Amino acid sequence: MKKYNVVTTISYPKKGAMGKTGSWRIFRPILDKAKCVKCLRCWIYCPEATIIRNKDDTVSIDYEYCKGCGICANVCKVKAITMEREVKKK
Amino acid sequence: MAIKDLPDTECVLPGSAACPGCPATMGLRIVFKALGKNTIMVVPACCTAVIESLHPHTSFDIPVMNIAFEAAAAGASGVEAALRQQGKEDTTVVAWAGDGGTYDIGIQALSGALERQTNFIYICYNNQIYSNTGIQRSGATPYGAWTTTTVDGKTEFRKEMGEIIQAHHIPYSAQACVSYPEDLYNKLKKAKGIKGPKYIEIMAPCPPGWRFSMEKTVDMGILAVETGAWALYEFENDKMTFNGKSKLILEKKIERKPIEEWIKYQGRFRHLFKPEKDVKKLKAIEEHTDQMWERYRACYL
Ligand SMILES: Cc1ncc(C[n+]2csc(CCOP(=O)(O)OP(=O)(O)O)c2C)c(N)n1
Ligand code: SF4
Ligand code: SF4
Ligand code: SF4
Ligand SMILES: [Mg+2]
């Protein structure tokens, strides 16, 4: 990445600038690929850009950063995404 | 334009400081898809300045200049002039500010930039409050809504910012909503292709600020439009066009839903329903909304 030599405070782009925000989740979106009709509504509405649009318009979820808001599940018209309570890892 | 046709461009990087369910990042993703990476954004004090996250990192993969609360349009004017001097006129300059930074403290800088015919796009994401500082009333807060500075509900109606902008007779202004990404995308694309000042305001329902659960951001935007609390329109060279459901409401092809259908899901209006229904205030809200639509019809039908 190009760094700039100027006399002011500059921040540089970074995925996870606030850390792994997946740890914020209380509920986890679970995708049932068999039900998905590739409408991409979850992809366009996800506020975090953590619904990944694959080449064939199927979708995957980036659990490292997904905050668990549940918007994807709520906008999916065929209920291919459900929210399930996170279980604490030991 | 279907969802499938929207480009993959992402400039909001995952792992930002935004609350879960945030309408600002939802809207920004569409903005960057429409405008592309050759864009410089000016952001005043507002939630978005926090969403950018902590130095030395930022969650926005695009050049952003942060500036004082009142100065978004003035800062953008400076950036635009500097680019023009350098012959870099293909770069889109955007000011992105909240409703507080637009309706209230930033209005004189904005009006000045519009009057000077500055070649930029001013975008206001309207969450109807000063959210970054903990939910205070703004000129965009609707009548009756609780905020920390209107504990019994706001006693005044919101400003009609759209009409103030129209009085500047700029080439393009529009109202959109995060719940209608294709409409928002089209409006941004159109604005990008027009020289001179452009203004786009995006309805942005905020879960913590409006007190609704975070999976309902899109629903709250749809209901704002379907109840007629918010209108989708474009005002291009002094010609008004209403879009989507707002067009049908204007032409009386559908009836707008009662405002209650929208506000009953929002904790900020809870005192209008509990312990008992405040019929008088609910009626005042409905009548005010009807007046707004009658005014639209008188002017634009
Ligand atoms: C001159 C000045 N006054 C007050 C503040 C504190 N302040 C920072 S952001 C903000 C509210 C911004 O509200 P809005 O523009 O609606 O954006 P939102 O936070 O809702 O996204 C306030 C009052 C400030 N930064 N500068
Ligand atoms: S909203 Fe549902 S059907 Fe559409 S792409 Fe997402 S998971 Fe698939
Ligand atoms: S739960 Fe929210 S953040 Fe996670 S993928 Fe769904 S919409 Fe995105
Ligand atoms: S308070 Fe509202 S607008 Fe601000 S970051 Fe949170 S959800 Fe987004
Ligand atoms: Mg605001």
Q: Report helix, strand or coil for B97.
A: strand
Interface size, chain A vs chain B, as Cβ–Cβ contacts under 8 Å = 120
Q: Is the pTM of this model over 0.90?
A: yes
Neighbours of B233 (CB within 10 A): 21
CA A14 – CA A21 distance, rounded (Å): 13
Is the pLDDT score of B136 beyond 70? Answer: yes
According to DSSP, the residues that pair with B92 across neighbouring strands are B39
Given the DSSP bridges, would you call strands B121-126 and B198-203 parallel, antiparallel or unpaired? parallel
For residue A74, give the chain B residue with the closest CA.
B215
CA distance A65 to chain B (A): 5
Closest atom, ligand 1, to C-alpha of B69:
26
User: In this complex, do A64 and B14 lie within 8 Å of one another by their Cβ atoms?
Assistant: yes
Residues of B within 8 A of A18 (CB-CB) are 15-17, 53-54, 59
pLDDT tens digits for B79-129? 999 999 999 999 999 999 999 999 999 999 999 999 999 999 999 999 999
Nearest partner of B42 among B116, B101, B86, B127, judged by Cα? B101
Average pLDDT over residues B177-193: 98
- Interface probe for A, chosen from B67, B178, B215, B218 (most Cβ of A below 10 Å), is B215
Task: Report the residue of chain B nearest A25, measured CA to CA.
Answer: B20
- 8 Å CB contact between A9 and B52: no
Across chain B, mean pLDDT equals: 98
Q: What percent of chain B has pLDDT over 90?
A: 100
Count of CA atoms in the C-beta half-sphere (13 A) of B95: 35
Report helix, strand or coil for A40: coil
Return the SS3 of B208: helix
Closest C-alpha to B150, from B284, B33, B272: B272
Confidence tier at B72 by pLDDT (50, 70, 90):
very high
Amino acid at B114: L
Ligand at minimal distance from the CA of A75 is 2
- Residues in B touching A10 (Cβ below 8 Å): 56
CB of B208 within 8 Å of any CB in chain A? no
Is A78 touching B (CB cutoff 8 A)? no
First to last CA, chain A: 38
B3 exposure class (CB count in 10 Å sphere: 0-12, 13-18, 19+): middle
Rounded to two decimals, the ipTM of the complex is 0.97
In order along chain A (90 residues), what is the average pLDDT of each group of 10 residues? 87 98 98 98 98 98 98 98 86
Number of H helices, E strands in chain A: 2, 5
